Amino acid sequence: MVCGRRVHEGETGRGEIAASGSQALLRRARTRRIRGFFGSVTETQVQIACLDLEGVLVPEIWIEFSKRAGIPDLARTTRDEPDYDKLMRGRLDILAAHGLGLPDIQAVIAGMEPLPGAVAFLDWLRARHPVVILSDTFYEFATPLMKKLGYPTLFCHRLEVAPDGKLTNYEIRLPDHKRRTVAALRLLNFRTIAAGDSYNDAGMLAEADAGILFRPPVNVMRDFPQFPVAPGYDELKALCAEAAARLAPLTAQ
C-alpha cells in the first residue's frame, strides 16, 4: 500500500512516484537541523555534555567530612586511589571504627555549597547542550547539592543504610558506569563532550568525542597527558565551545 491504499499492477507508476515522494520527505526529516538549545546539528547527531560532580561542580564530599570529623584518612579520593572498591571499603571500615553514619555525613553536606562559578558555568552549558552528571557519589549524599545546582540530571550509586544510620554497604548502579553511559549515548547518536578531574573519570573522557580534565591534580595530569586541561571555568567554557564547533557536522544555513 502507498499513502493508505493498495497499489495494483496498473498503478505502479503512481505508486513509485508516491514512494519516491515519501522517501524524499524522510530524507529531509532526517537532515532537519535543530537550532538554539541543541545547537546547529542534525537530529541524529545532537551533542551532549557529561560532567563529573565532585571536584568539577562541588567540593569533594569526603574531604569536607574528613576535615569536619578530624579523620585525615577519610580525605583520600579517586584522585589518590584508582581502585574505587578498595577506596569505599576503606571508608566504610573507618566510619564503623569511629561510630559514624549517614546522618553525620549528611549534616556536613547540608552546609556545603557549589564551587565558586560552578552554577554560572552549568547554566551556560545547559543553554547549549543537554547535560548529564556522571558521578561515583551516592544519591543519599548528592540530593541536597542537586537543589543548589538547579536539579541537573544525575547518574550515581546508592548506599545501604542500617536502621541506626550506619553505612553497611554500597550498591554500584553499573560497573564502570561513567564510560558505559557515554558509550550508550553514542549508540543513541549523541556526540559527547565530557569533563572530569580524577582517575575514575579517565574512561569517560577517553570514550567521549571530546574529553577535558578540569583542575586535575598533578598525578592525574601526568598519567593522562592526552586530555586538554582547564584550570578554571573560563578555560572550561572555551574548551567546550571549541569541542562543540569541531564536532558539529553541519553549520546553520
Crossing angle of helices 102-109 and 61-69, in 10° steps, is 110
If DSSP codes are grouped into helix, strand and coil, which group holds residue 113?
coil
**Alpha helices, DSSP H, located in the chain:** 12-30, 61-69, 84-98, 102-109, 118-126, 139-148, 177-187, 202-207, 218-223, 233-247
Q: In 3D, which of 31, 28, 49 has the Cα closest to residue 40?
A: 31
65-103 exposure pattern, b = at least 16 Cβ within 10 A, e = fewer: bbeebebeebebbbbebeebeebbeebbebbeeeebbbe
The total number of residues written for the chain in this structure: 253
Q: Which residues contact 243 (CB under 8 A, 6 or more apart)?
A: 193, 209, 210, 212
DSSP 227: S
C-alpha cell at 142: 548528592
Which residue numbers are catalytic?
52, 54
Q: CA–CA separation, 89 vs 99, rounded Å?
A: 15
